[in-house]
């Protein structure tokens, strides 16, 4: 398939190991443009995107999430994270957190999901890897939540909705299994 959009869609994988190389300013500009180009219900654009590249803050968020899972006694999840390198952000040099006003309706969460995939496809188009990471929300719920909010300048009245890690992939991954029976045609 030569269509570059189809190539990006079919080539994207959830990457869970990244090289430490920084995302360039040009790449950041392309990613921010892609995020802002996302569609939203009634064009409300309810999101805010936090583009985080500060290594100390990324480490703080990853550690805080792990601490939350430990505090919750979710040891199976902690073990799973340890088996994947011990960090929920997989060493990515960029984390994009998407926030919404607290208690937003489901439609706004759909907006956020679309924006996350827009970022993932934009990253793919730039030759970067990505992983959508819902687990990062735990960083803003547990014992170290307040410190994490302060570190990123969290706005009052908003909540974590979803996040995406992006960077140069340090691994490859097979495509997930597809289930053609989930498509029904009505001709
Ligand atoms: C809403 C959403 C949340 C996700 N959260 C996580 C996460 O917290 N951590 C993670 O490693 N992967 C996460 N993923 C990635 C999925 O595990 C992944 O998309 C799925 O296994 C299919 O693999 P693929 O993306 O390579 O096709 C998330 C994906 C979506 C769509």
pLDDT of amino acid 2:
82
pLDDT of amino acid 84:
85
25 contacts 109 by C-beta, under 8 angstroms: no
pLDDT exceeds cutoff 90 at 127: yes
Look up the pTM and report it: 0.97
Ligand 1 pocket, 134 CB below 6 A?
yes
Residue among 77, 91, 99 at smallest CA distance from 162: 99
The average pLDDT across 125-138 equals 98
**pLDDT per position as a tens digit, 52-71:** 999 999 999 999 999 999 99
Query: ∠ CA 61-64-68 to the nearest 5 degrees?
Result: 140
Measured from the Cβ of residue 4, the count of other Cβ atoms closer than 10 Å reads: 11
CA–centroid distance for 180 within its chain: 27
The average pLDDT across 134-146 equals 97
Ligand 1 atom with least separation from CA of 136: 8
Measured from the Cβ of residue 37, the count of other Cβ atoms closer than 10 Å reads: 10
Which residue's CA is the nearest one to ligand 1's atom 18? 14
Ligand 1 pocket, 32 CB below 6 A?
no
* Sequence-separated (6 or more) residues with CB below 8 Å from residue 156: none
The rounded Å distance from CA 25 to ligand 1 centre is: 26
Measured from the Cβ of residue 164, the count of other Cβ atoms closer than 10 Å reads: 26
Ligand 1 pocket, 165 CB below 6 A?
no
The rounded Å distance from CA 164 to ligand 1 centre is: 10
What is the three-class DSSP state of 154?
A: coil
The rounded Å distance from CA 62 to ligand 1 centre is: 16
134 contacts 93 by C-beta, under 8 angstroms: no
pLDDT of amino acid 1:
60
Choose which residue among 9, 11, 12, 14 to substitute to test ligand 1 binding: the one with the highest number of ligand atoms within 8 A of its C-beta.
14
pLDDT exceeds cutoff 70 at 87: yes
Task: Give the span between the Cα atoms of 177 and 87, in whole angstroms.
Answer: 25
Average pLDDT, the chain: 97
**pLDDT per position as a tens digit, 2-52:** 899 999 999 999 999 999 999 999 999 999 999 999 999 999 999 999 999
Residue among 48, 52, 84 at smallest CA distance from 66: 84
What percent of the chain shows pLDDT beyond 90?
97
């Amino acid at each position: 398939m030569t269509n570059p959009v189809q190539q990006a869609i079919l080539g994207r994988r959830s990457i869970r190991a990244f090289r430490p190389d920084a995302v360039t300013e040009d790449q950041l500009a392309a990613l921010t443009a892609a995020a802002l180009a996302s569609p939203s219900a009634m064009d409300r654009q309810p999101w805010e995107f936090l583009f985080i590249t500060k290594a100390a803050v990324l480490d703080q968020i990853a550690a805080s999430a792990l601490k939350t899972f430990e505090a919750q006694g979710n040891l199976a999840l902690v073990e799973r994270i340890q088996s994947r390198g011990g960090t929920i952000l997989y060493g990515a040099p960029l984390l994009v957190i998407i926030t919404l006003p607290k208690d937003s309706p489901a439609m706004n969460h759909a907006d956020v999901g679309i924006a996350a995939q827009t970022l993932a496809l934009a990253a793919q188009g730039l030759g970067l890897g990505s992983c959508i990471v819902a687990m990062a929300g735990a960083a803003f719920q547990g014992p170290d939540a307040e410190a994490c909010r302060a570190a990123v300048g969290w706005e009052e009245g908003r909540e974590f909705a979803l996040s995406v890690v992006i960077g140069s992939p340090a691994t490859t991954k097979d495509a997930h299994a597809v289930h053609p029976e989930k498509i029904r045609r009505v001709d």
